[in-house]
Amino acid sequence: MRWMCGRAALLLFATAGAAPCALTAQSGSDATVVIAVRHAERADQGPGADPMISSTDPPLSAVGLQRAACLAETLEHAGVTRVFTSPYARTRQTAAPVAAIAGVETEEYNPRQMAAFVDSLREMGGVVVVVGHSNTTPAVVQALGGDPVSPIAEDEYERLYTVFLAGDVTRSTLTSFCPVG
């Protein structure tokens, strides 16, 4: 699994043209790289779902925990400076390994105040990871000026968006990461 995650990271950075930390350094301190992903697989959905799990705030499944670990491995050398999640167990659990490897605490954003959150992202600088949902992740990408490509399907967990913001320049990429399960 390590090889697949490392390969995904290489693909991500090759597609983007530069590693996020390198782009940030080249573009100056005002540059921001936003890496946006949907939370990993929930314990209350899919094969082997536990009917006793709360459907309002379910944790990650075993496959979801694998994906979260792989995401952290993928972003290990990205120079992550901040990690944001919505206030749900599945987003916090997806982000926790990334934050641990980066040596930062996770921070919570309010998905009902998306415009203000996106405005703050533009001004942060550094490499910021945002873990959201099938509806909020493409919305963040689009609000930043990136291309979300298409809606995220309910059973899709492999999208990794990278939005590069430097002055008036915005570039976005979409890659697939961590095929697990």
**Residue 33 near residue 129, CB atoms below 8 Å:** no
Q: Mean pLDDT across the stretch 175-180?
A: 85
Q: What is the pLDDT of residue 18?
A: 44
Percentage of the chain exceeding pLDDT 70 = 78
Residue-level pLDDT at 166: 94
- Alpha-carbon distance of 165 to 34, in angstroms, equals 8
Q: What is the mean pLDDT of residues 1-14?
A: 38
In order of 4, 91, 127, 171, the CA distances from 29 in angstroms are 32, 28, 11, 17
- Comparing 21 with 54, the larger pLDDT belongs to 54
Task: Give the mean pLDDT of 103-116.
Answer: 96
What tokens were used for 125? 């600088």
Q: What is the mean pLDDT of residues 118-138?
A: 96
Q: Does residue 5 register a pLDDT over 90? A: no
* Average pLDDT over every residue of 116-141: 96
- Cα angle for residues 56, 58, 59 (degrees, 5° grid): 160
- Residue 85 pairs in a beta bridge with 108, 131
Each domain of the chain, given as residue ranges in start order, spans 2-176
Q: Does domain 2-176 have CATH number 1.10.1370.30?
A: no
Give the predicted TM-score (pTM) of the model: 0.83
